Amino acid sequence: MKIVTIIGARPQFIKAAALSRAIKDRFAGRVEEILIHTGQHHDDNMSKVFFDELDIPDPRHHLGISGGRHGEMTGRMLGAIEAKLIEEKPDWVLIYGDTNSTLAGALAAVKLHIPLAHVEAGLRSFNMRMPEEVNRIVSDRFSTLLFCPTATAVVNLAAEGITKGVHNVGDVMYDVALFYKTLARQQTNILARLGLEEGRYLLATCHRAENTDDPQRLSQIMQVMVELARDFPVVFPLHPRTRDLLVTHGLSDKLASLKVTLPLPFLDMVALEQSAHLILTDSGGVQKEAYFFGVPCVTMRDETEWIETVSLGWNKIAGADKNKILAAVRNFVRPAVAQETLYGTGDASGAIIQAML
């Protein structure tokens, strides 16, 4: 079986690492995987470091496509991916998540009548203003196999009339978290490098367009960071796009009181997540990782796809309102009950490959 995997953004590299490892360790000789890297995330700190650190096979095709408006970027990717699929003639196209790379891969596969497998299918924020929501809905509609991370995702698909080819396999990110949890503590000294004490700092990330493109929302979020930095060190790995928009919106001065870093390698990020007092984020992946590691999370969005983490009390939705975020952080009560196993048993990757076979 020949699989072409389409990846292009940081979260996809991490997820792809789990499946690539499963193919190498358990399906060698039965499955050939070819990676196409669209180039959506091209900065070394957002791309190359993950291939090196997570032992992901080098992409056979690197398309070098990044920047531009959503439609422009997706269109360029679509044409380039289509040409590579014609060349490679795979049995399956495999896509992850909800980025422009995901959508372009889905469109290219369906137009060439190649079976499509979507990892992380069925997630819904029910906010059609989010580009990610559009990407995931369209990708799900075209997919032959839909690999859901939770029972909620299965229900979401059924509500849209999609029941064929749907599998609740668990979350590949849980596979990754289990594999790297201890390794991260052993192999990184990020806390010492940043002068941090375990449990005595906050970790914050902000990159989604709904926050960074809106000067008012971004201003509220940055004011929160400055306020919280009076009580705790706030570690802020800075996405290149966020950095540029802070300058554009005249907010870059707010960074002075924070522990700002470049985008971090995965093991550094996992180590920081595990040891944080609390995490603030607008990232779907970081919300889940906080839950996996038993760390309270405040989500700076108006909704989340990962509603299970909210219903169990490990995640609070606070939007981009300064007062709501501060109240959520300062009044957060850790749930008395430990995290439930919501995201599978840690072998989503094997289940995905087996279903494709």
59-77 burial code (b ≥16 CB/10 A, e <16): bebebebbeeeeeebbbbb
Phi, psi of 149, deg, nearest 5: -85, -20
- Name which of 19, 336, 5 is nearest 173 in CA terms: 19
Instruction: Report whether 282 contacts 211 (CB < 8 A).
Output: yes
Cα(86)–Cα(112) distance, integer angstroms:
8
Which of 41, 61, 207, 239 is catalytic? The answer is 207
Encode 108-174 in three state secondary structure: HHHHCCCCEEEECCCCCCCCCCCHHHHHHHHHHHHCCEEEECCHHHHHHHHHCCCCCCEEECCCHHH
- The whole-angstrom separation of Cα 357 and Cα 345 is 21
User: Tokens representing 288?
Assistant: 């889940």
| DSSP string covering 223-250 | HHHHHHTTTS-EEEE--HHHHHHHHHTT
Which alpha helices (DSSP H) does the chain contain, by range? 10-26, 48-53, 70-88, 100-111, 131-142, 151-159, 172-187, 190-194, 209-212, 215-228, 240-248, 266-275, 284-292, 307-311, 322-330, 348-356
For residue 65, which phi and psi values (nearest 5 degrees)? -105, 120
Residues 6+ apart with CB under 8 A from 174: 149, 288, 292, 343, 344, 346, 348
- 207 catalytic per annotation: yes
Q: Which residue has the tokens 């990232």?
A: 283
Answer yes or no: are the C-beta atoms of 110 and 142 closer than 8 Å: yes
Q: Closest Cα partner for 307 from 131, 104, 151, 110?
A: 151
By annotation, the residues acting in catalysis are 207
